[in-house]
Chain A
């Protein structure tokens, strides 16, 4: 399983574009929003938590089709399915690799973009924490969506239609946590609920995703 994780990470680092792409998208979004909304610091500070969370969510979504599609094309997914590792474990490891290559960098880079968007000072800590807690759920839900659409020729657009509604609770609690912290309020409740969603997704969705994969590999 660790070998699989290292393999996926290596592929993401070396097969150009996989690793930095999400970050680049995140940065561009943080530049586009002030250009569209106007440079007023008060307005930007007000919408910064939401923009950062929506940006992280879309950046995650962009790289989802890489979770299974490439392995499905060259047949290594069939090999993984017949390997001694349970398919549920394969799914979980692949979601973890996706998180390390997108979610974690997003969480670490978010404060810089927070400065660009004039996020209020107390929000920064919670921004990192909420993204670090919430993006594993995004990767896991995304892996489920990718497993559903892996056999389809043009699954990308369909996958976003399937995955984005599933992202809504995560987005609400994540953005609420940052908003509350930025206003100087207690952010513990949304953070706890966010961790709950992550824990539930990581515990249960590998089974649903592996089930969908088995159907698609039939």
Chain B
């Protein structure tokens, strides 16, 4: 049984991700397309929200991945700080723009849905506010990566920022709840009976959520592969220059 840590070796990681990346990309495309067509065209309309409710099939999965991307960056940062695997740091770097994009999608689909339903594009609701704050955290993290030239220094500093930022992001979430009463509805997929959506809505939503998860995986793998190749190219260039 191969240990997970073997894939900290860039060569083994490249070999694994070489087939895992296209596979998850194709699966993600299939699941998202199926889920969206099922959700958009073959589900009943909500009796109060009409067809606008169907934006949930993009909104909820992207919001889910927006948070999970940060969690993945946190774990990858911890692995980098503890075990110094470069692949881990590069995966965290690759995940940040994807997470920021997911946060943006969640905010924008929410605004598009909120305009006809709440009568406003934006409200200072705790959930909306904490997502905007999360977006700012992503921006800061990406900015710090791009500001530092030395790759290892950048990986170290962004990892510390990710750890500290996680604590403050959670604090901000609860501060936002304290600060203002909410307009946003509760959890979409509550386990409590009676609060659950109908199965006909949950099935396509599950498909979209798995699809978005795989899409995130494919994008992060692609980003990490790019980073590894860029590093190889840089190492080769340095070697060439040293020889010349």
* In contact, B143 and A158 (Cβ under 8 angstroms): yes
How far does the alpha carbon of A164 sit from the alpha carbon of B143 in the complex, in Å? Answer: 14
Tell me if A151 is interfacial: C-beta within 8 Å of chain B. Answer: yes
Q: Which of A126-156 contact B (CB under 8 A)?
A: 141, 144, 148-149, 151-152, 155
- Could you say which residues of chain A place their CB within 8 Å of the CB of B137? 165
Q: With a CB–CB cut-off of 8 A, which chain B residues contact A212?
A: 156-157, 160
B211 within 8 A of A: no
Q: Are A166 and B164 in contact (CB under 8 A)?
A: yes
A173-B168 Cα distance, complex, nearest whole Å: 13
Q: Mark A175-218, 1 if CB is under 8 A from B, else 0.
A: 01000000000000010010001000000010010011001101
Query: Which residues of chain A are near B210, meaning CB under 8 Å?
Result: none
Q: Which of B171-199 contact A (CB under 8 A)?
A: 171-172, 174-176, 178-179
Q: B140 within 8 Å of A by Cβ?
A: yes
Total residues of chain B contacting the partner, CB 8 A: 26
A172 near B175 with CB under 8 A, answer: yes
Per the 8 Å Cβ criterion, residues 182-228 of B in contact with A are: none
Q: How many Å from the CB of B52 to the closest CB on chain A?
A: 31
In angstroms, how far is the closest chain A Cβ from the Cβ of B162?
11
Which residues of chain A have C-beta atoms less than 8 A from B143's C-beta?
158, 161-162
Establish whether residues A162 and B168, one from each chain, have CB atoms under 8 Å apart when the complex forms: no
* A201 CB to nearest B CB, Å: 9
Known: A208-B160, A208-B164. A165 touches B175 (CB 8 A): no
Q: Which residues of chain A have C-beta atoms less than 8 A from B136's C-beta?
A: 161, 164-165
Interface status of A169 (Cβ within 8 A of chain B):
yes
Whether A165 lies near B179 (C-beta < 8 A) is no
**Cα–Cα distance between A165 and B148 once the two chains are bound (Å):** 20
* A161-B153 in contact given A152-B147, A168-B175 (Cβ < 8 Å): no
Q: Which residue of B lies closest to A160 (CB)?
A: B140
Q: Shortest CB–CB separation between residue B221 and chain A, in angstroms?
A: 28
Looking at A151, A166, A208, which has the most chain B CB atoms within 10 Å of its CB?
Answer: A166
Minimum C-beta distance from B189 to chain A (A): 28
Beta-carbon contact of A165 and B140 below 8 Å:
yes
Do A197 and B147 touch across chains, with their CB atoms under 8 A apart?
A: no
Interface presence of B133 (CB below 8 A): yes
Cα of A18 to Cα of B75 in the assembled complex, Å: 40
Q: For residue A208, which residues in chain B have a CB less than 8 angstroms away from its CB?
A: 160, 163-164
Is A166 in contact with B165, judged by CB distance below 8 angstroms? Answer: yes
Tell me, rounded to whole Å, the shortest Cβ–Cβ distance linking A146 to chain B.
12
Known: A162-B140, A211-B160, A215-B153. A173 touches B175 (CB 8 A): yes
Our count of residue pairs bridging A and B at CB distance below 8 angstroms stands at 73
Check if A169 sits within 8 Å of B148, measured CB to CB. Answer: no
The reply on B161 being an interface residue by CB < 8 A is yes
User: What distance in Å separates the Cβ of B70 from its nearest Cβ neighbour in chain A?
Assistant: 12
Assembled-state Cα–Cα distance A193/B172 (Å): 12
Write the nearest CB–CB distance from A127 to chain B, whole angstroms.
Answer: 18
User: Which of B157, B168, B176 contacts A148 (CB under 8 A)?
Assistant: B157
B37 proximity list for chain A (CB < 8 A): none
Which residues on A sit within 8 Å (CB–CB) of B133? Answer: 165, 168
A175 to B163, CA, bound (A): 26
Binary per-residue interface labels of chain B (134-147) against chain A in the complex, 1 for a CB within 8 Å, 0 otherwise: 00110110011001
What residue of chain A has the Cβ atom nearest to residue B168's Cβ?
Answer: A166
| CB of A131 to closest CB in B, whole Å | 17
Question: Contacting A169 at CB < 8 Å: which of B139, B140, B168?
Answer: B168
B159 to chain A, nearest CB (A): 10
B76 CB to nearest A CB, Å: 17
Interface residues of A in 77-132 (CB under 8 A from B): none
A208 vs B164: C-alpha distance in the bound complex, in angstroms? 8
Report the minimum CB–CB distance from A128 to chain B (whole Å). Answer: 21
Q: Report Cα–Cα, A151/B148, bound state, in Å.
A: 9
Separation of A197 and B172 alpha carbons in the complex (Å)? 11
B144:A169 contact, CB within 8 angstroms: no
Residues of A within 8 A of B (CB): 141, 144, 148-149, 151-152, 155, 158, 161-162, 164-166, 168-169, 172-173, 176, 190, 193, 197, 205, 208, 211-212, 215-216, 218
User: Can you report 10 residue pairs joining A to B where beta carbons are below 8 Å apart?
Assistant: A148-B144, A158-B144, A165-B172, A166-B164, A172-B178, A176-B178, A176-B179, A208-B160, A211-B160, A215-B153
